[in-house]
Structure 1
């Protein structure tokens, strides 16, 4: 009980120190409000409002029908231009897509030949260029099939594909981005809060005061981890309720309580990592630089930005040793698919094992740094 009392009082000291750090408090408010709302509401992963120019050399019913098929919100109304302006339009970046419908296109189509449509793409706008070209191809195929249904073209489609989108029927990218932003901000804050708290005490000399008290390294470390984890979990809950559910209108099907419990487990691993990095650094600026090559791969390679399956096999094995990989999988499974502990127990076990490993390595390093 005495050790628990020590941890409790040290935790109160950490919370009091955080309360007087106005810059850090302001950053936390920003990280769990504006930094989540703006990307989720303003960023679009798919094709949206893409600019299109069209060179209609055929001036037929089919060419007009194809031009009219490109509609908002995916595409802007196509702008007619002359054939001679294709290269200049792309060089000047006026339009992302320039479509050239050749002369005699409708006649060749009705004659059973296979006429070609040229789609010129400005691939500097990589996301829209890659997806938009596929969108245009599917739209044109649909329109040509509908036009040819009066003849024999309809019989050339032996299979009809029906797609169903589960858990996000309208394919709203903002739903996923909101949760991933929370995950990323939790990772950043968990590492920075504990690391800067330890280094701030070392720079101000208060860590030496703690060492003359009947306290152990384990008590000091648990107090820092517990207090900072409590603050981040509370901010996460507020962000889910006020920003994600109310402001963004994202329907969360899963248990918020289970997600917060998993968040606390994830924070146990990340805060221990922050303490470990702080024992390697001698100042807060040095700690900030040391954190960059650790945090950035955790964010980019955790499966939130790029699916794990698209990475090289050796990199997948490496990233399975990162707590962020399992946390991203747990977050999406719990919040969107309403997965329970019986479904995600393997990720929970892996996250627990990684957290304990990080904790004991950080504790050993912290003890050595205190004795030095």
Structure 2
């Protein structure tokens, strides 16, 4: 009971230390609010509300059908302009895309000729130019094929492919980016907060004060793990509810309780890793450099940025030893596919095992550090 009381009171002390650290509080606030929102909505490969203008010199049923085919959220409703406005609009960056429909386009098409459409793209917006040109080509080809088959009475194909987009019907990147960024912030801040808490003890000389008390390394470490883990867990919960669900409009299908349980196990692993880095670093700048070296591979190779299936098999196997890999797979299963505890428990078990290994290594390192100071 005395050990539990010591762990509780040391954890409360960590709350008071964090409350006085305004820079760290601002980092937490920004990371789980604007950091999540900007990362989810600022991905360059997404085409969203692109500006398009159309020069319709045919004024036919088909050209009107093409104009109406450009719809939000991929494009703004197209503007009908003339030839002179097209060049001026591109020069002044009013439009990202301009589509020119020549005279007699519908008549030539029905006569079996191959008329050409002119698509001008503002390539200074590289990401939208690349993806948008592909979208426009697909839209035009589909509308022209449908019109020609209807007018000529061509027989339909014997096989029709009907795609069904599961879990993300509109292919909205923010649905994936918002949750993945929350996971990245959980990993980053749990490492930084626990490592910084240990560094602060050393820089302020309070670690020596703890050593003269009847406290062990296990109690000191558990206090930092539960207190900093709880701070990150509460911040992540608020971010999921206020930023991801309300601000970004992401429908979280699965159980929030299952995710929070998995997040707690993930935090057990990452806070232990943070303490391990805190015992190696001697100052906050050193901790920052070590965090970058560890955090970048954990985030990039976990599957949150690039699908694991696209990675070499050896790398996929190696990253099974990282807690972020299991946490990303688990979060996708829970929030997008609605998976329950009976599906994701192997990932939780793997995360717990990895966390236990990190905790044992950090505890051994902390005991060695304390013995050297004594």
Instruction: State the TM-score, normalizing by the size of structure 2.
Output: 0.85
Q: In the aligned structure 2, how far is the partner of 1:130 from the partner of 1:317?
A: 34
Question: Which residue in 1 is equivalent to 2:335?
Answer: 335
What is the CA-CA distance between 1:41 and the residue it aligns to? Answer: 6.4
Give unpaired runs (5+ residues) of structure 2: none
Q: 1:220 to 1:254 in 2, by over 3 A?
A: same
Q: 1:239 to 1:117 in 2, by over 3 A?
A: same
Question: Which residue in 2 is equivalent to 1:27?
Answer: 27
Q: 1:366 to 1:314 in 2, by over 3 A?
A: same
* Greater Cα offset, 279-288 or 187-196: 279-288
Question: Which residue in 2 is equivalent to 1:208?
Answer: 208
Q: 1:286 to 1:99 in 2, by over 3 A?
A: same
* Greater Cα offset, 247-256 or 190-199: 247-256
What is the CA-CA distance between 1:218 and the residue it aligns to? Answer: 1.9
What is the CA-CA distance between 1:38 and the residue it aligns to? Answer: 5.0
8 A contact 1:52–1:97 mirrored in 2: yes
Question: Which residue in 1 is equivalent to 2:166?
Answer: 166
* Greater Cα offset, 336-345 or 91-100: 91-100
What is the CA-CA distance between 1:69 and the residue it aligns to? Answer: 3.1
8 A contact 1:145–1:154 mirrored in 2: no
8 A contact 1:53–1:81 mirrored in 2: no
Counterparts of 1:7-86 in structure 2 under 5 Å?
Answer: 7-37=7-37, 39-40=39-40, 46-52=46-52, 62-63=62-63, 65-76=65-76, 77-78=78-79, 80=81, 82=83
Counterparts of 1:49-198 in structure 2 under 5 Å?
Answer: 49-52=49-52, 62-63=62-63, 65-76=65-76, 77-78=78-79, 80=81, 82=83, 95-99=95-99, 105-117=105-117, 119-152=119-152, 154-155=154-155, 157-198=157-198
What is the CA-CA distance between 1:120 and the residue it aligns to? Answer: 4.9
Q: 1:48 to 1:243 in 2, by over 3 A?
A: closer
Q: 1:304 to 1:89 in 2, by over 3 A?
A: same
1:359 aligns with 2:331: no
Q: 1:81 to 1:281 in 2, by over 3 A?
A: farther
What is the CA-CA distance between 1:231 and the residue it aligns to? Answer: 1.6
Q: In the aligned structure 1, how far is the partner of 2:243 from the partner of 2:55?
A: 45
Q: 1:270 to 1:126 in 2, by over 3 A?
A: farther
What is the CA-CA distance between 1:134 and the residue it aligns to? Answer: 2.5
Instruction: State the TM-score, normalizing by the size of structure 1.
Output: 0.85
Question: Which residue in 2 is equivalent to 1:317?
Answer: 317
Q: In the aligned structure 1, how far is the partner of 2:244 from the partner of 2:178?
A: 7
What is the CA-CA distance between 1:128 and the residue it aligns to? Answer: 2.2
Question: Which residue in 1 is equivalent to 2:305?
Answer: 305
1:290 aligns with 2:264: no
Q: In the aligned structure 1, how far is the partner of 2:13 from the partner of 2:155?
A: 76
Q: In the aligned structure 1, how far is the partner of 2:91 from the partner of 2:330?
A: 45
Q: Secondary structure at the match of 1:337?
A: coil
8 A contact 1:302–1:319 mirrored in 2: yes
Question: Which residue in 2 is equivalent to 1:223?
Answer: 223
Task: Encode CA deviations 1:150-176: one digit per residue, 9 max, x unaligned.
Answer: 443642644333222323334443333
Q: In the aligned structure 1, how far is the partner of 2:361 from the partner of 2:27?
A: 29
Q: Secondary structure at the match of 1:164?
A: coil
Q: 1:363 to 1:81 in 2, by over 3 A?
A: farther
Q: 1:326 to 1:236 in 2, by over 3 A?
A: same
Q: Secondary structure at the match of 1:155?
A: coil
Task: Encode CA deviations 1:51-87: one digit per residue, 9 max, x unaligned.
Answer: 335566767654554345334442242565659x87x
Task: Encode CA deviations 1:310-358: one digit per residue, 9 max, x unaligned.
Answer: 3333433333322112111111211232211221123222212221222
Give unpaired runs (5+ residues) of structure 1: none
Q: 1:44 to 1:154 in 2, by over 3 A?
A: farther
* Greater Cα offset, 265-274 or 44-53: 44-53
